[in-house]
Each structure stands twice: as C-alpha cells, then as structure tokens.
Amino acid sequence: MKQMNGLFHYDTMRALELCVEKEAAFNKGDISYEEYMFWLRGLIRTSFAQIEGVAYIMRQVALWAWERSDFSLTEGEAAKLAEEEVVEKDGEKTRKRRFNSFRENLELAFKYFPQVFGASFRLNKGDTGWTSFLGAIQTRNAVTHPKKPSEFMLSGNAVKELRDTVIWFGEMMSGMLTACETAARKNA
C-alpha cells in the first residue's frame, strides 16, 4: 500500500509542480489560457487517479480480509465496499451493482482499511484540507464529466484547492498507515 501510494504521489507532486510553473507563466503572459487549463486539467486527473486508486485498493484489502474471515463485516457493509447492494426478491438475497460516489468510496476506505489491522483512525473532516477536498471533487467532476463547455474553464482557485487536497490526503495516508503499522506490531 505504502509503495503504491508513493508511486502515485510522485506523479501527483510532479504534476502539481508543473502546474504551479504553468500558472506563473500564464500570469506573466508567457503561455495562453488554453495551455494553462491543459496543465490544470492534467493535475486534476493525476491527483484524483492517486486518491481513487489508493482508496480502491484499501477497500479491496478490507474485502479480502473479510472473505478470509480475518475481519468482520455485515453483509451490507461488504456489499457497500464492493459497490453493490443486497436486494431481496421472493425471499432470496442477491447482489446488484450500485456505484458509490467518489466521496463515499474514500470514506469507506478510510473507515474499514484501518480496522483490518485493529487500528483506529478517522479522516480529519474538520479542517481546510477537507473543505478543499470537497471543492476539488466538484472541480474533478466538472473536468471528467462535463455537462457544458463552461465547466472546462476552471477557477483560479483550483490550483490552491488541489494543492491543499494533495497535502491533506498525504497527511491522512501517513497518519492512517502509521496507525495501521503500530496496531499490526502491537497485535503480532
């Protein structure tokens, strides 16, 4: 987990660095608005690929531990982690595909992954990093699922919001992995 996050994190930090350079070049008039937006949209895609990819693996680890009976989940919790829902029809339960929101998947990952190791960890939702993250989700949705051309025109606040999101996510990952390592050593 740590290695994968590290690889994704390198890409994100490099994209952020390039985007900050492009922002300065745009502000000086050295590059066009379109060129600057190209780099900003790339940063958004890169940042959220990291967050989404790591959250997906965290959820898969929790499901794997549950399937091995190393970890306890209700049927509903396991279905939610797998992006499914339990449907009862004619007295028989089946699972049906149900996509979670990006935010839901992140919250599920940070809730259940630490529990696999007997760790206790909570996402910090009480600071500006969380607020920036929520705003960055809206920007991500506009870039990856645009409904109108104007959604490709990003605000000047997007770089700061993404920088704060990347920092917040890095802090959350570091804190969670430390909690998991500590709990694993203690429970060994």
Q: What are the tens digits of pLDDT across the range 85-98?
A: 888 888 888 888 99
CA distances from 163 to 34, 83, 103, 127, 130 (A): 21, 29, 18, 14, 12
Flag whether 87 is in a domain. Answer: no
Task: With respect to residue 76, please indicate whether it lies within any of the assigned structural domains.
Answer: no
- pTM for the whole structure: 0.88
Predicted confidence (pLDDT) at residue 64 exceeds the cutoff of 90: yes
Q: What is the mean pLDDT of residues 49-71?
A: 94
Residue 115's domain comprises 2-71+102-187
Q: How many domains in the chain?
A: 1
Say if 168 falls within a structural domain: yes
Say yes or no to pLDDT of 169 above 80: yes
**Domain membership flag for residue 81:** no
Q: Contact, 39 vs 18, CB < 8 A?
A: yes
Least confident of 9-13, 30-34, 54-58: 9-13
Burial tier of 99 (Cβ tally within 10 Å: 0-12, 13-18, 19+): exposed
Q: Is 90 inside any structural domain?
A: no
In a domain, 179, yes or no: yes
- pLDDT over threshold 80, residue 8: no
| Whole-angstrom distance, CA of residue 64 vs CA of residue 24 | 46
Give the pLDDT of residue 3: 61
User: How far is the C-alpha of 185 from the C-alpha of 188, rounded, in Å?
Assistant: 5
SS3 at position 85: strand
Residue 85 falls inside a structural domain: no
How far apart are the C-alpha atoms of 140 and 78, rounded to whole Å? Answer: 27
- Please state the rounded mean pLDDT for residues 72-86: 93
**Helix, strand and coil in the chain, % to nearest 5:** 70, 5, 20
Q: In this structure, is residue 95 part of a structural domain?
A: no
Place of tokens 């989700």: 137
pLDDT for res 7: 66
Residue 86: its pLDDT value, please?
Answer: 86
